[in-house]
């Protein structure tokens, strides 16, 4: 028999440390963003306007899975709507329940949500890897819980499927000859300026006595971000942007401690000219931010090539380039993968029904225009 324990107080999250850490390695498609470490840092910085609803599912007293949820107040065109959703908040590409049995976790968790307080207007589960790790579990669980849901494409992510490619030589041969020549030309131009070297830093974590965050290298990433086009970006999501800088620095410290950090620098005569800042978990690498100094054109591409080559050497299976700016990633990706969102609209909440009707109208649109409109609804 399944039981569900709900945690609303962030101070109580630590009581889930042992089951969470034991279930995470068994989670298909897991990333650093699925970890309790990441959630605790995220909550520290972005809890305003949100309510924690983390559900731990047990079977005969043993932990089966964890369903991390939050109730978030979102401003829409029709007013403020309370949305019960995953806490990922577009930081990563895919998300879902923690544990080896996501079906049981979703069924028990969503059943609990249906029976307990209705502090939400919509249940919205985005970032679902519908064609990968989810395998239809999310819509089936929502249906079985009596939560009629609509499905919609959410984001398109560029991936380098390292496992399928085999090795670096095989992968590199699939890139266009024009692109390969561009990267070689950039490397030759950089070599005229000095000796090129690639630094990759992946500490094993505190459990192995290897958790130095190497703030000197992180500061180099920030310095390059400030000196690149990113300094003028209006998105507020760059490595050096004041709105998220404290959060990312806390994440950096925690990622080093948990063994999830993957920091890359390209040096010319010992001077950092490009960076690729990523997180990694059991062979899944997520590229969070990348940048290069304006005076060293092409250094970003050279670093990307060396980083991917090193991924093969280390035995990584996936390099997630993230969503957005897909045209810039086309030269590197081996495939595109869509995430989906599943939404249940409360019938007794007029604003929820207005959102539903607005999205019905948006189905007439197609492509990126439809996705953009859907996110703003």
Q: State the pLDDT at residue 369.
A: 45
Residue 361: the pLDDT is 83
pLDDT at 234: 56
What does residue 280 show for φ and ψ, rounded to 5 degrees? -135, 145
- CB crowding 343-371: b at 16 or more within 10 Å, else e: bbbbeebebbebbbebbeebeeeeeeebb
Residue 232: the pLDDT is 60
pLDDT for 236 equals 56
Buried b / exposed e across 232-251, counting CB within 10 Å, b at 16+? Answer: eeeeebbbbbeebeeebbeb
Beta bridge partners of 253: none
Predicted TM-score (pTM) of the model is: 0.93
Q: Using CA atoms, how far apart are residues 279 and 289, in angstroms rounded to an integer?
A: 10
Which residue's structure tokens are 């990584």? Answer: 316
- Averages of pLDDT over each 10 residues, the chain, 377 residues: 95 97 97 98 97 97 97 89 97 97 97 96 97 95 96 96 98 98 98 97 98 98 85 68 95 98 98 98 97 94 98 98 94 97 96 90 59 43
Instruction: Determine how many CB atoms are found less than 10 A away from the CB of residue 227.
Output: 16
Query: DSSP assignment of 201-218, as one string?
Result: E---BGGGTB----HHHH
| pLDDT value for 249 | 98
Nearest by Cα to 306 from 261, 335, 276: 276
Burial of 277 (0-12, 13-18, 19+ CB in 10 A): buried
Sheet containing 335-345: order of strands: 2-7, 50-59, 62-76, 79-85, 122-128, 335-345, 150-161, 318-323, 284-292, 271-281, 261-268, 196-201
| Contact status, residue 27 vs residue 98, Cβ threshold 8 Å | yes
């Amino acid at each position: 028999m399944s039981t569900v324990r709900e945690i609303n107080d962030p101070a109580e999250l630590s009581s889930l440390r042992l089951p969470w850490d034991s279930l995470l390695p068994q989670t298909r498609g897991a990333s650093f963003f699925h970890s309790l470490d990441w959630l605790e840092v995220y909550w520290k910085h972005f809890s305003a306007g949100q309510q924690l609803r983390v559900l731990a599912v047990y079977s005969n007293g043993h932990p089966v899975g964890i369903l991390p949820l939050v109730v978030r107040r979102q401003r829409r065109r029709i007013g403020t709507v309370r949305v019960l959703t995953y806490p990922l908040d577009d930081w990563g590409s895919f998300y879902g329940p923690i544990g080896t049995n996501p079906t049981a976790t979703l069924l028990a968790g969503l059943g609990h949500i249906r029976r307990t307080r209705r502090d939400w207007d919509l249940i919205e589960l985005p970032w679902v890897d519908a064609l990968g790790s989810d395998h239809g579990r999310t819509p089936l669980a929502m249906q079985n819980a009596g939560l009629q849901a609509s499905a919609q494409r959410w984001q398109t992510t560029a991936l380098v499927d390292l496992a399928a490619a085999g090795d670096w030589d095989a992968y590199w041969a699939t890139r266009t000859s024009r692109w390969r020549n561009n990267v070689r030309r950039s490397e030759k131009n950089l070599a005229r300026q000095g000796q090129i070297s690639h630094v990759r830093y992946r500490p094993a974590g505190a459990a192995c006595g290897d958790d130095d965050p190497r703030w000197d290298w992180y500061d180099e990433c920030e310095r390059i971000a400030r000196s690149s086009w990113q300094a003028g970006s209006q998105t507020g999501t760059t490595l050096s942007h004041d709105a998220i800088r404290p959060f990312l620095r806390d994440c950096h410290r925690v990622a080093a401690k948990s063994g999830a950090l993957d920091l890359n620098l390209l040096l010319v005569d010992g001077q950092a000219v490009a960076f690729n800042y990523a997180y990694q978990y059991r062979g899944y690498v997520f590229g969070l931010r990348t940048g290069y100094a304006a005076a060293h054109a092409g250094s970003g591409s050279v670093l990307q090539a060396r980083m991917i080559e090193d991924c093969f050497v280390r035995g990584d299976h996936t390099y997630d380039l993230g969503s957005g700016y897909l045209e810039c990633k086309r030269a590197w990706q081996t495939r595109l993968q869509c995430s989906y969102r599943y939404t249940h609209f409360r019938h007794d909440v007029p604003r929820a029904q207005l959102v539903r009707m607005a999205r019905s109208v948006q189905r007439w649109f197609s492509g990126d225009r439809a996705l953009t409109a859907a996110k703003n609804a």
